[in-house]
Structure 1
Amino acid sequence: CSHITGALIYTAQTTLSGFSLETHDIQGQGWVNINGKGGFNTPHDHGSFHWSGCYYALVPETAEERSGNIEFLDPRGCVGFNPAEVSLIFAPKFQVAPKAGQMLIFPSYLRHWVYPNQEDADRISIAFNARIVRRVLAASDVVSPISADPVGRP
């Protein structure tokens, strides 16, 4: 759990201008996914949060090309209209073949799904969502209307 918290703090610090643990809280939720043989997750997003992620605790070895892969779908819709010019950055889909011990963090609005696990062993992951919330300021931290006047009138 501390690895997830640390990764979320790092993500917020490196991507959000003005983020500070002194002025913001990270609210979150998490759950465990256990996908046995044939188990998968349908396309979905976590739009009411800022960041989502997954820590892969157990990923069975597989010979199948897509077994248990997570696939992200481009939310821009029309991307990839010219297949001759598509590069990885403009592809309408992006797959990751997870490895045990790996963690992914991505914007919560990004639609994604997980391919069926084709192996007899379970694939176990810890999924999580997080939102950044500005703390309510104490009365002493609030700028009074008088001191906020740019001319300095009383």
Structure 2
Amino acid sequence: MTTRPLFVTPLYQASLAGEKDFETFIDDLHDACIAVAEEDEAGQAWAEKKAYLGYTSYASLDDLPQRDSLFADLKKKLDKHVAVFAKELCFDLAGGKLVMDSFWINILDPGGQHTGHIHPHSVISGTVYVTIPQGASALKFEDPRLPMMMAAPTRQSDAPETLQPFVYVQPEPGTILLWESWLRHEVTPNQADEQRISISFNYAWR
């Protein structure tokens, strides 16, 4: 007899940490994120209105690569990783390509979180992590089959990761995570005493 895993949910993980001048690049990205946050009054107002503990440029800015060459350089790096992931996913793009159509900064204050959500109208979504202090939030992924498991017993605590209903990924500075945009995920509460800074993005099929 044999048991085969079907309908795999892939998660791509890489890091910028091995690249030349990584420390300088990630420090400069930190400073650039803070500078954008301090200048973006619309983003600050959105966060205040939504009681968001921190700052995000998601609803206010759509031109990060034009604002600072650091973000443009980061986009080029991400384009390459997304191309690799798309190949691993065996996507038939039928002459089209995956294009970054949104790119935004996330700054979570202590206690801040981002509840469960998906990214509609996109193919691949992801996050690159800039500042991750001790105790900073993990990224929590949810088994997409979970709503259909009404009568299923709980999994054993030592079940393999492929059978767990939730998987927590603890990033480090420079970590890149990519997933298909339909995969539900959330950022758990930031238990650190400092801000957690990341940059998220979506790629659409054009």
TM-score in same-fold range (> 0.5):
yes
Determine which of 98, 113, 118 is the counterpart of 2:191. 118
C-alpha distance in 2 between matches for 1:68 and 1:97: 7
Q: Would you say the 8 A contact 1:12–1:19 is kept in 2?
A: no
Residue ranges of structure 2 left out of the alignment (5+ in a row): 1-74
1:9 and 2:83 are equivalent in the alignment: yes
SS in structure 2 at match of 1:56: strand
- What is the aligned partner in structure 1 of residue 31 from structure 2? none
Measured in 2, the distance between the counterparts of 1:129 and 1:68 equals 21
Identity of aligned residues (%): 29
Secondary structure of 1:83 counterpart: coil
Matched-pair contact (CA < 8 Å) for 1:13–1:19: no
1:98 to 2:167 alignment: no
Cα distance between partner residues in 1 of 2:199 and 2:170: 16
Q: Is 1:71 the equivalent of 2:71? A: no
For 2:182 and 2:96, locate their aligned partners in 1 and report how far apart those are by CA, in whole Å. Answer: 21
Cα distance between partner residues in 2 of 1:94 and 1:19: 29
Match of 1:50 in 2: 123
Alpha-carbon distance in 2 for matches of 1:36, 1:26: 32
Note if 1:61 corresponds to 2:126.
no
Displacement after TM superposition at 1:17 (Å): 4.1
Q: For residues 49 and 38 of structure 1, what CA distance do their matches in structure 2 show? A: 29
1-structure distance, mates of 2:143, 2:161: 11
Equivalent pairs counted in the alignment come to 127
Is this contact kept in 2: 1:58–1:122, CA < 8 A? Answer: yes
Contact map agreement 2:155 2:163 (CA 8 A) in 1: no
Q: CA deviation at 1:82?
A: 4.7
Unaligned stretches of 5+ residues in structure 1: 134-154
Kindly indicate whether structure 1 or structure 2 has the higher relative contact order, using CA contacts under 8 Å at least 6 residues apart.
1
| Cα drift, residue 120 of structure 1 | 2.1
Residue type of the partner of 1:13?
K
**1:10 alignment partner, SS class:** helix
Larger Rg: 1
- Please state which structure has a larger fraction of its residues in helix: 2
